[in-house]
Amino acid sequence: MSKWLVEQSGTHVSYTSILLYLIDLLEVKDLESKLRKLSFGYRAGYIAKAVKYIDEQGGEEWLNNMRNLSYPEAKIQLQSIPGIGPKV
């Protein structure tokens, strides 16, 4: 899985570059199915829903704006993403 992300995202791999690449994939019909074929397993559904949600919120700009929030505010925003919750 990580090898595929490196290959698809280029040489500079960061969470942001991977996320932006996945947002670009939203146009791919049935992103979840494609991710499952690439061995993402049960995570495929979570990733597809999370990427779609982040895109709907404003994508990179929404994520970058979190830098201006306090920790508790940013935590609330991040936990609004499907599949992200408090660590147990």
- Which of the residues are catalytic? 87
- The answer to whether 23 touches 51, Cβ cutoff 8 Å, is yes
- 17: Cα separation from own chain's centroid: 10
Residue 45 in tokens = 């559904």
- The answer to whether 84 touches 50, Cβ cutoff 8 Å, is yes
CA distance 83 to 67: 21
